[in-house]
Chain A
Amino acid sequence: MQTLEKVAAGVSVAMIVAFIVYWVVQIGGALEMLRIAYG
């Protein structure tokens, strides 16, 4: 595996993890607000 490929692999995996965490937190926040509002 060449350097660019290794960097692309590392950055891509980091981005996938970061965006999953971001959206899970956002959806969790929305669900929490709905739970507070409607029980």
Chain B
Amino acid sequence: MSALAFFEWLDASLLGAAAKAYGGVYAGAQSLHLTALALLGGTVLVTDLRLLNILLRDVPSEVIAEEAHKWFKIALCVMVASGVFMVAGVAQKAYYNEAYWAKMAALLIGILFVFFLKRPLLQRDHSTITPWVLKAVAIASTMVWFTVAACGRWIGFS
């Protein structure tokens, strides 16, 4: 099945029909999606700004990274679930939208980066990690999630 065929199927699916038929539910899903994005952004920012020694310098960065990651996972699950519902309502439009694919690419990079590099690295004692590496990881992390959020908003304007 090609990507276009999948998006056409999604558009015609029960989920797609529900998303198009019930405006209030769609608005609710959008609100949930943005709330989860705010939570996800908060967890990313609090962790990354701590790694950059800007925020909460009196709290160990290991503690912040550990606590924030729990909420990051919850926010990501809510974002993906509400996002699938939202895209089902505009599936064919999304397929031809450049910003949508930019967001998906950034999201994939962000997820792989968090679960295969950032998280395994931050589970170690941070004092044993080279300081500039921690800072580079924090800046890269902030930039990828900024791109996810910005491209997400861009979908509505393109």
Interface residues of A (CB under 8 A from B): 1, 4-5, 7-9, 11-13, 15-16, 19-20, 22-23
- Across the A-B interface, how many residue pairs have beta carbons closer than 8 Å? 48
Residue of B whose beta carbon sits closest to that of A11: B117
Q: Are A15 and B121 in contact (CB under 8 A)?
A: no
Q: Are B113 and A11 in contact (CB under 8 A)?
A: yes
Out of A5, A11, A22, A23, which one reaches B140, CB within 8 Å?
Answer: A11
- As a 0/1 sequence over residues 101 to 137 of chain B, the CB contacts with chain A under 8 angstroms (1 = contact) are 0000000010001000110110000000110110011
Are A15 and B129 CB-contacts (below 8 A) given A5-B121, A8-B137?
Answer: no
Chain B CB within 10 Å, residue with most, of A12, A16, A20, A23: A12
Q: Are A13 and B117 in contact (CB under 8 A)?
A: no
Q: Are B143 and A15 in contact (CB under 8 A)?
A: yes
Q: Closest Cβ of chain B: how far from A15's Cβ, in Å?
A: 4
Complex formed: what's the CA distance from A30 to B140 in Å?
A: 24
Are A19 and B133 CB-contacts (below 8 A) given A4-B121, A12-B139?
Answer: no
Chain B contributes a number of interface residues (CB within 8 A of A) equal to 17
Q: Are A9 and B147 in contact (CB under 8 A)?
A: no
Out of A5, A15, A22, A23, which one reaches B133, CB within 8 Å?
Answer: A5
Q: Are B130 and A15 in contact (CB under 8 A)?
A: no
Q: Are B140 and A15 in contact (CB under 8 A)?
A: yes
Q: Are A12 and B109 in contact (CB under 8 A)?
A: no
Residues on A with beta carbons closer than 8 Å to the beta carbon of B120: 4
Q: Are A19 and B121 in contact (CB under 8 A)?
A: no
Q: Closest Cβ of chain B: how far from A6's Cβ, in Å?
A: 8
Out of A13, A15, A20, A23, which one reaches B109, CB within 8 Å?
Answer: A15
Complex formed: what's the CA distance from A22 to B99 in Å?
A: 12
Out of B109, B130, B139, B147, which one reaches A5, CB within 8 Å?
Answer: B130
Chain B CB within 10 Å, residue with most, of A4, A8, A13, A16: A8
